Structure 1
Amino acid sequence: MPSGPSWALMSPHRDDPVRVRIDPAGLEFTASPRDDLLTAARRAGIAIRWSCRNGVCELCEARLKAGRVLNTRTDQEIEPPATLMLCRSQPRGPVELEIEEVMAAGSQTPQQMQATVSDIKTLSHDVYRVTLTLPRRRELAFHAGQYLSVRLPDASPSYFSIASSPSRGDIELHVQAATDWASAQRVMDTFHTDGQVTLELPHGKACLASAPQQPLVLVAAGTGFAQMKSIVDYLRETGLQQPVHLYWGVRRHEDMYLRSLAYQWAEDWAPFSFFPVVGDDADNDWSGHHDQLVRAVLAGGYDWSGVSVLASGSPPMVYTLMDALVEAGLPESAFLSDVLEYAPRGQ
């Protein structure tokens, strides 16, 4: 159990926020003594199960390991060891809880599920928005920024970022299916003709289990935007006030298939800024364009020692970006990308 003054029992001023920790996920957030712990956790973007909000359904049950809380139903203080309902508990100082169902980023076990194709829309000359419906959606938990695989008979899995927020009832994918990309064409043919598909999800550790406590820089190339859309939708739901900067790099103007949506985010959500990076020159070599994207990110002039970065794109782009940002002062631990997991250096 943590010790020391940060976890000492205290009676803070009624408006002073206190620190709350959830184990074994190791997630932390702040809560006002006027907030119930369920409201504060969900405001921080932590996926807590709940239903009734009056302490009856017991879905938001937690074990109190350290600190004190006020039971708002009985008006009595609770001390550990004890079981409590988050929706009926206000913190009376720093609190440590245990909730087995709350998962750390990227720690969920993937599972296979059948999905129904409910909609397909063309977003550009070779990108399609595919909407999938899951019959047991409430049984599935994933974090913003994770991805899934589509499982077809006699074929290797095809991987796609989930473009929708974890709170959405359906699953959105952005599928790039150029005419010379046989595997993607086969996936799209299945979506169009079968109407049913087997998924395995969730995958990926480059994701958010809670709202970040420092500015966030998102860097996407091409359809890597799908991962960023899931993250932005999720962070907007939490009411995050930390700055979020999105850099989206493409080869040609027509490849930026949801540019208007990104500009709409910037107009509607004050913490968000959008920086499109388009190559569109005579030499259409992508290696040159990912260098251009990296230069644009570096030109942001951020204090790299105090931000987090999440990147989605090809391994050359991701590693070029990571090396440049680490040299500029970014801690390597603050750089997240699925590339680091599926295409580690030296392999």
Structure 2
Amino acid sequence: MGSEPRWVGLKPSGIRYSAGINVDLLSAAADAGIAVPFACKNGVCELCEARLLSGSALNTRNQQMIPVGARLMMCRTVACDHLELEISAVMAAGKNQPRKFQANVVDVRSISHDVYRVELQLPRRRELSFHAGQYLSVILPDAEPCYFSIASSPSEQNIELHIQASPEWVSAQKVIDALTSGEAVSLELPHGKACLASAPEKPLLLIAAGTGFAQMKSLVEYLRGTSFSQPVKLFWGVRRHEDMYLRSMARQWEQEWSAFTFQPVVGDDEDNDWSGHHDQLVRAVLATGADWKNVEVHASGSPTMVYTLMDALIEAGLPPEGFFSDVLEYAPRS
């Protein structure tokens, strides 16, 4: 096959990625943003074990071909042809089963007039696997679970949340009170199917309203750690300038990552009609003139915003399967 990259398919997840010449399968998977478990990268820990289902692969330790049906260590294997592997440790988007964890609170700090940045540490972090764009629930005694997007990349050791809370929002304020009490907090994660298990093959449009930015932060920081080179454009819609609590971070991404552009969308300070700002955000997205048949859209915000945006983009030519939002799962249309 010359110098052409080889495709590696993973079962049962259905994920596929490209592996270059003389690049081990584990490194190629990492470049594609696929979270294969590993510890040593030299074939000793056996965490990256898989089974060869089809194709030709070489063991780089002994320079011998690996028979079909045999086990292999992805860190010590290169593809000589297109491959199909069986590895149950790699899950498709949204297929990780939620589990309960106890987390220690590392930090809670105000980053705007009503948004807190929360940093949590899981003593058993190695046991947790989640995909960029997923969310979790905070479980308090005698209360319904409260759901928040995970703002950190899956590669980060600690979990970051952005929680919007003010005195009139009782449930969110209870969460902040619990997080600042000094006690450990119960979490359940991961949740959500609108996430990335590997780097996509199309340009990305990311659209957030308010603290929906947290989900987009996870996606952006995840993609920056891969070899993804397609254009990424982030729209962030807020009512007032002060609601854009991490504008400087988005601007920094734009300066440091040539594939990334950021477009803030701020409503009229005197107009508190949030539906009007939804329309403004949708108009800004439509004005990009994107090739809607060749783009992937991820949206995070209220159901009203998400469905208004989805309807407009599908009418403009976006295939329905190119639109991703957790709203479609937790607030389906009747």
Among 242, 255, 271, the residue aligned to 1:254: 242
**Aligned-residue CA RMSD in angstroms?**
0.8
**1:236 pairs with 2:224:** yes
1:196, CA displacement in angstroms? 1.4
Q: Name the structure 1 match of 2:152.
A: 164
Letter in 2 for 1:321: L
Letter in 2 for 1:288: G
**Matches of 1:309 and 1:338, distance apart in 2:** 12
Q: Name the structure 2 match of 1:24.
A: 12
**Matches of 1:191 and 1:49, distance apart in 2:** 30
Secondary structure of 2:263 counterpart: strand
Q: Name the structure 2 match of 1:297.
A: 285
**Matches of 1:50 and 1:244, distance apart in 2:** 29
Q: Name the structure 2 match of 1:3.
A: none
Secondary structure of 1:40 counterpart: helix
Q: Name the structure 1 match of 2:176.
A: 188
**Matches of 1:78 and 1:296, distance apart in 2:** 53
Checking the alignment, whether the CA contact within 8 Å between 1:253 and 1:280 is kept in structure 2 is: no
TM-score, length of structure 2 as denominator length: 0.99
Q: Name the structure 1 match of 2:90.
A: 102
1:240, CA displacement in angstroms? 1.5
**1:280 pairs with 2:268:** yes
Q: Name the structure 2 match of 1:43.
A: 31
Q: Name the structure 2 match of 1:332.
A: 320
Letter in 1 for 2:55: G
1:160, CA displacement in angstroms? 0.4
Among 43, 52, 75, the residue aligned to 1:55: 43
Letter in 2 for 1:148: L
Secondary structure of 1:340 counterpart: helix
**Matches of 2:139 and 2:172, distance apart in 1:** 12
Count, aligned residues: 334
Percent of pairs identical after alignment?
65
**1:119 pairs with 2:114:** no
Larger mean CA deviation between 75-84 and 330-339 belongs to 75-84
1:280, CA displacement in angstroms? 2.5
**1:136 pairs with 2:124:** yes
Q: Deviations over 1:78-128 (max 9, x none)?
A: 231111111111101100000011000010110111111110111100000
Among 259, 269, 274, the residue aligned to 1:271: 259
**Matches of 2:324 and 2:169, distance apart in 1:** 28
Q: Name the structure 2 match of 1:313.
A: 301
Q: Name the structure 2 match of 1:225.
A: 213
Among 187, 192, 201, the residue aligned to 2:189: 201
Among 85, 92, 113, the residue aligned to 2:80: 92
Secondary structure of 2:144 counterpart: coil
Secondary structure of 1:193 counterpart: coil
Q: Name the structure 1 match of 2:137.
A: 149
Q: Name the structure 2 match of 1:7.
A: none
1:74, CA displacement in angstroms? 1.1
Structure 1 gaps, min length 5: 1-11
Q: Name the structure 2 match of 1:64.
A: 52
1:186, CA displacement in angstroms? 0.6
1:173, CA displacement in angstroms? 0.4
Letter in 2 for 1:253: H
**1:245 pairs with 2:233:** yes
Structure 2 gaps, min length 5: none
Q: Deviations over 1:254-295 (max 9, x none)?
A: 000000000000000011110000003422210000110000
Secondary structure of 1:238 counterpart: coil
**Matches of 2:13 and 2:332, distance apart in 1:** 25
**1:76 pairs with 2:64:** yes
Letter in 1 for 2:152: S
1:70, CA displacement in angstroms? 0.9
TM-score, length of structure 1 as denominator length: 0.95
**1:176 pairs with 2:152:** no
Among 282, 288, 310, the residue aligned to 1:322: 310
1:178, CA displacement in angstroms? 1.7
**Matches of 1:106 and 1:235, distance apart in 2:** 17
**Matches of 2:82 and 2:28, distance apart in 1:** 13
